[in-house]
Amino acid sequence: MKIGVVIIFLSLTFFLEFLFPLFQARSKRMRHALINLTFGVFNAFLVGFLFSSLTVFISQWSELNHFGLLHWMNASPLFSGCIAFILFDVWMYVWHRINHRVPFFWAFHRMHHTDLSVDSTTAFRFHTGEIVLSSLMRLAVIPLIGINLNVLMLYEICLQPIIILHHSNLKIPENWDRAFRFLIVTPNMHRVHHSQIREETNSNYASIFSLWDRLGKTFQKRSEFKTLVFGLPEFTLKSSQSFFGMVKTPFFS
């Protein structure tokens, strides 16, 4: 189901970016998309192969042994599910901040930020090293929260369309964006996060709910986006934007 949601939503958003782009006249858009999606497909297969069974096992172990915060609360399934969903999104916010603040993790995460033409496919542009590290950390967080598989799957199904949308190159009226970002992360909010200006890069970390950036005092907004420059200044060369250049990103200072 998750794969179907991703394919449909990505295809629709990618098409709409042709019709209503914020940044126009981008060259080699299909090549850019192919490189980003190659990473996405490879990472998806790797996670499925290495971590799917472990995730199921740990979640079931947590439930059978009543281990984790939500099992200790002994609340109703509906209430526990809602709290688990929220807590996992808090974890995603914290993990994202860690990726920016800790040099070892930033070395891998910065590949995501090297994209000079952020669009819907950037949602899949992650270094495999980061995906492995993130998946390992999840194996610890899942039992600590006590989140069950159904809630975790629901979270992933909700997460994917939202991150595709907030990475998109869609031109969305500011009044619409403002209304939606009261609850969720929107394109105008997340574009700031991909700015070359370091103070903007280190802001707007939330994945689904925008509230965490306000509570964490990491929320920043822009009134104008046409002057926004994406990427990282040290990775603007053509060689850095190639597939193998992106693979080597963590290993250059």
Q: pLDDT value at position 253?
A: 65
Q: What is the pLDDT of residues 3-62, one digit of tens each?
A: 899 999 999 999 999 999 999 877 789 999 999 999 999 999 999 999 999 999 999 999
Q: What is the pLDDT of residues 187-237, one digit of tens each?
A: 999 999 999 999 999 999 999 999 999 999 999 998 888 889 999 999 999
Three-state SS across the chain?
Answer: CHHHHHHHHHHHHHHHHHHCECCCCCCCHHHHHHHHHHHHHHHHHHHHHHCHHHHHHHHHHHHHCCCCHHHHHCCCHHHHHHHHHHHHHHHHHHHHHHHHHCHHHHHHHHHHHCCCCCCHHHHHCCCHHHHHHHHHHHHHHHHHHCCCHHHHHHHHHHHHHHHHHHHCCECCCHHHHHHHCCCECCHHHHHHHCECCHHHHCCCCCCCECHHHHHCCCCCCCCCCCCCCECCHHHCCHHHHCHHHHHCHHHCC
**In this predicted model, what pLDDT tens digit does every residue of 162-185 receive, in sequence order?**
999 999 999 999 999 999 999 999
